[in-house]
Structure 1
Amino acid sequence: MPFDVDTYLKALDHRGPTAPTLETLRSLHHRHLATFPYDSALNAGRGTALWAGVDIDLDAAFDAIVLGGRGGVCYELSGLFRALLGALGFEVGVFGAGIRQMDGSFGPDLEHVFNHVRLDGEVHLVDVGFVGPSYLEPLRLSPEVQRQHGSRFRVVAADGYQVVERGVPSGAWQAVYRFRDRPRDLAEWQAPSAELEEFARALAGAAILVRGRSFATGQRVLIGKRLLTVDGGQETVRVLTDPAEHERVVADILRAGSTR
């Protein structure tokens, strides 16, 4: 089925206004994260060509994800949402980001694809394709502390980048990812840099699957067997050593939401 706004909104169970306002954007953003999970298993077999399909086939992605109920990777989920927002009259564009790694360094600038919306003179970060933990609702591009469902966020300038930071339970701030404050063109991903290709090879070699889905007050992020849950700003971490439990958690995160 071709891309269809009404069907998309029905899949999101969005019954409120659709005018291009911040209220609409918040509702759609939160519902999208809860409806369509992130699933890195979809990158299996792509090798270093992880971003080859960044300019998505809109109808095919709509059929597989919105109608078929499967998860997606960042550029699929963000591409679909960008099309929806554009159809509703939002001024929407693309950003590229480098995600904070376990050692505190950042990945390449084009590692992650997400969106931004210009609304009432402000830029709002819009990201429905990041596994988390991260923001559930749009985030103003501002160093001011923004609270969402018990969690704290801010966007600060550092070394020529804007850095999305999340307040962790200790009270400290931890980077989520960094990005250049300039719109990106999807063509920039078609000829990946040597740094981006090297990064893709490292990801393929690690072979650790990452899945995630949000819920009303938080997110569940499964990295290999490590399950991180953020609920109302409180975090818990468990290692799923029981294969049956691991299988159940994966199935729950990726549970089908098919509208067929």
Structure 2
Amino acid sequence: MFDVDTYLTKLGYSGPRAATLETLRDLHKRHLMAIPFDNSLNADAERGFDVLLEVDIDDDATFRAVVEGGRGGVCYELNGLFRRLLQELGFDVKILAGAVIQVNGEFGPELEHIFSCVEIDGEVWLADVGLAGPSYLEPLRVSDEIQEQYGCQYRLVEEDGYRVLQRRSRGAEWSNSYRFKLQYREITDWKQLVPDIAEFPLEQVLIGTRIHSRAFDNGQMVLIGKRYLRVEDGKEEIKVLARPAVFREVVSQILTPGV
């Protein structure tokens, strides 16, 4: 059964529960550090895009598996649970849809990614604990300004009627993460995903590729297949983990917080 106290204990949070920006920032980062992104259950290529249609999660069942059971999850699970937590704490939370940048440099279907935004004191903040990454560790303000977090910069640019989230690590160029419209969604909107993906090449969205990621205090670890990206204080290091023992060690580090 979904329980706020158990959830906050999982995140290691014992601070104020008021619906403030400070609380949101703390919970967002703690969530990314405590609960990994892990698509192991959904990486079966035969299922194709079926996993993208399961956004209407059973909160209690997902809570038992992720928060109590210790496994990771994907965007609709992690952001769905986080959305419920924020609502229980009194935050004004809305659902957003995003199209993630693909391996060919193009954006995927418009409803491919589900995340949230939170309105606080008249400002809108993006909250996303369900993107493999690398991504923002704390909420981002919806504005034109460049925002820096732990050595990385983020900005939202207008392009073809969308807001495009861009990220830049130290010494690198701006790169696209995903695009979205500031259009509040309902879970039922995801029924439209079926025709949207009918002609979309599955290989472009890494179906069948295992993806694991988790944040730490000043960065993030992202493993896509055997390609390992570690970001620390804005500095990126990329390796291909060819040795099985090293690969298993990195998977363990990501999926077991505290290791």
TM-score > 0.5 by shorter chain: yes
On the 8 A contact 1:37/1:71 being kept in 2, the answer is yes
Distance 1:247 1:78, change over 3 A: same
* Distance (whole Å) between structure 2 residues aligned to residue 35 and residue 197 of structure 1: 35
1:103 deviates by 2.8
Residue matched to 2:92: 91
Residue matched to 2:248: 247
- The Cα offsets for residues 11-60 of structure 1, whole Å up to 9 and x where unpaired, read as 10101111000000000000000011111222134333112320110000
Say what the alpha-carbon RMSD is for the aligned residues. Answer: 1.7
* Distance (whole Å) between structure 2 residues aligned to residue 200 and residue 74 of structure 1: 20
- If the length of structure 2 is used for normalisation, what is the TM-score? 0.94
* Distance (whole Å) between structure 1 residues aligned to residue 201 and residue 78 of structure 2: 19
1:197 deviates by 4.2
Further displaced range: 82-91 or 189-198: 189-198
Distance 1:133 1:44, change over 3 A: closer
Distance 1:203 1:71, change over 3 A: farther
Local SS of the residue matching 2:126: strand
Give the aligned residue type for 1:50.
V
Give the aligned residue type for 1:36.
I
Give the aligned residue type for 2:4.
V
* Distance (whole Å) between structure 2 residues aligned to residue 217 and residue 33 of structure 1: 12
On the 8 A contact 1:115/1:126 being kept in 2, the answer is yes
Residue matched to 1:29: 28
On the 8 A contact 1:168/1:174 being kept in 2, the answer is no
Q: What percentage of residue pairs aligned between the two structures are identical?
A: 50
Q: Within the alignment, does 1:48 sit opposite 2:57 as a pair?
A: no
Distance 1:57 1:256, change over 3 A: farther
- Counterparts of 1:14-25 in structure 2 under 5 Å? 14-25=13-24
Residue matched to 2:117: 116
* Distance (whole Å) between structure 1 residues aligned to residue 115 and residue 139 of structure 2: 11
Give the aligned residue type for 1:101.
Q
1:256 deviates by 6.6
* Distance (whole Å) between structure 2 residues aligned to residue 205 and residue 232 of structure 1: 28
| Number of aligned residue pairs | 256
Further displaced range: 184-193 or 4-13: 184-193
Runs of 5+ consecutive residues of structure 1 not aligned to the other structure: none
On the 8 A contact 2:36/2:213 being kept in 1, the answer is yes
* Distance (whole Å) between structure 1 residues aligned to residue 34 and residue 70 of structure 2: 9
1:185 deviates by 1.0
- The Cα offsets for residues 207-257 of structure 1, whole Å up to 9 and x where unpaired, read as 211110000001000011010011000000011010111011112211278
Give the aligned residue type for 1:15.
S
- Counterparts of 1:1-260 in structure 2 under 5 Å? 2-45=1-44, 46-199=47-200, 201-202=202-203, 206-255=207-256
* Distance (whole Å) between structure 2 residues aligned to residue 48 and residue 91 of structure 1: 30
Runs of 5+ consecutive residues of structure 2 not aligned to the other structure: none
Distance 1:204 1:150, change over 3 A: closer
On the 8 A contact 2:167/2:177 being kept in 1, the answer is yes
Give the aligned residue type for 1:38.
F
- The Cα offsets for residues 99-157 of structure 1, whole Å up to 9 and x where unpaired, read as 11233211111111111001110110000000101100000011201111111111121
Give the aligned residue type for 1:170.
G
Give the aligned residue type for 2:54.
G
Distance 1:17 1:197, change over 3 A: farther
* Distance (whole Å) between structure 2 residues aligned to residue 80 and residue 164 of structure 1: 23
